[in-house]
Amino acid sequence: MAIGVFVELSIVIIIAVVVAGIMRLLKQPLIIGYILTGIIVSPYFLNIVKSTDAIATFAQIGIVLLLFMVGLNLNPKIIKDVGKVSLVTGIGQVIFTSLIGFFIGQLLGFSTIVSIYIAIALTFSSTIIIMKLLSDKGDLETLYGRIAIGFLIVQDLIVIVILMVISSIPTGIDFATLALESVFKGVGLLILLFLISVYIFPQLTKTIAKSQEFLLLFSIGWCFAIASLFYYLNFSIEAGALVAGITLSLSPYHYEISSKMKPLRDFFIILFFILLGSQMVFTNISQYILPIIIFSMFILIGNPLIVMVLMGLLGYTKRNSFLAGLTVAQISEFSLILIALGVKVGHLTNDILSLVTIIGLITIAGSTYLILYANKIYPHLSRYLGIFERKGKKVDEHRYQKDGIYDIILFGYDRIGYDILESFKKIKKKFLVIDYNPEIITKLAKEGFDCKYGDADDSELLNELNFSKIKMVVSTIHNLDTNLLLINKIRESNKKTIITVVSHQIDEAMKLYDAGATYVLMPHFLGGHHVSTMIEEYGLNLNKFLKEKIAHIEHLRKRKEIGHEHPRQER
User: Does residue 204 share a domain with residue 57?
Assistant: yes
Together in a domain, 371 and 500 = no
Q: What is the per-residue pLDDT for 512?
A: 92
pLDDT at 198 over 80: no
Please indicate, yes or no, if residue 426 is contained in any of the structural domains: yes
Q: 408 and 384, same structural domain?
A: no
Host domain of residue 516: 403-561
Do both 19 and 122 map to the same domain? yes
Higher model confidence: residue 59 or residue 78?
59
pLDDT band for position 393 (cuts 50, 70, 90): low
How many domains, in total, are found in the chain? 2
| Residue 47, pLDDT score | 80
Q: Which of 364, 388, 412 corresponds to the end of one domain?
A: 388
Q: State the angle between helix axes of 333-344 and 112-123 in degrees (0 to 180), rounded to the nearest 10.
A: 150
Question: Each residue of 325-380: pLDDT tens digit?
Answer: 999 998 887 788 888 888 887 888 888 888 888 898 888 888 888 888 888 888 88
114 and 239 belong to one structural domain: yes
d(CA 476, CA 416): 6
Do residues 331 and 462 both lie within one domain?
no
pLDDT digits (tens, 9 = 90+) for 435-465: 887 778 878 888 888 888 888 888 778 887 8
- Does 567 map to a domain? no
pTM of the full structure: 0.68
Residue where a domain terminates, one of 331, 364, 388: 388
Answer yes or no: is 15 within a domain: yes
Output the CA angle 544-546-547, nearest 5 degrees. Answer: 65
pLDDT band for position 304 (cuts 50, 70, 90): very high
Q: 65 and 261 in contact (C-beta within 8 Å)?
A: yes
Judgement on whether residues 35 and 104 belong to the same structural domain of the protein: yes
Mean pLDDT of 94-113: 92
In a domain, 321, yes or no: yes
Structural domain includes residue 393: no
Arithmetic mean of pLDDT over the chain: 81
In a domain, 398, yes or no: no
Measured CA to CA, the distance from residue 242 to residue 511 in angstroms comes to 47
Percent of all residues in the chain with a pLDDT value above 70, rounded to a whole number: 86
> pLDDT confidence of 569, banded at 50, 70, 90?
very low
Mean pLDDT of 475-488: 89
pLDDT score of 568 more than 50: no
Judge whether residue 100 has pLDDT over 80: yes
Q: Are residues 371 and 442 in the same domain?
A: no
Is 159 part of a structural domain of the chain? yes
Each residue's pLDDT tens digit, 495-549: 889 999 988 888 899 999 999 999 988 877 777 767 777 888 888 888 888 888 8
Alpha-carbon distance 133 to 125, whole Å?
13
Nearest-angstrom CA–CA distance, 123 and 103: 14
Q: What is the pLDDT of residue 563?
A: 60
CATH no. for residue 473? 3.40.50.720
Look at residue 440 in the predicted model and tell me its pLDDT: 80
Q: Do the beta carbons of residue 119 and residue 98 sit within 8 Å? A: yes
Order of all β-strands in the sheet with 451-453: 399-400, 451-453, 431-435, 408-411, 472-475, 498-502, 519-521
CA distances from 45 to 16, 40, 278, 371, 558 (A): 15, 5, 10, 33, 62
Are residues 317 and 446 located together in one domain of the fold?
no
> Would 396 be classed as within a structural domain?
no
Q: What is the CATH number of the domain that holds 209?
A: 1.20.1530.20
pLDDT score of 570: 41
pLDDT surpassing 50 at residue 566? no
Phi, psi at 106, each rounded to 5°: -65, -40
CA distance 363 to 29: 11
| 152 and 276 inside one domain | yes
188 shares a domain with 85: yes
Residue 435's pLDDT is 87
Looking at the fold, whether 162 and 74 belong to one and the same domain comes out as: yes
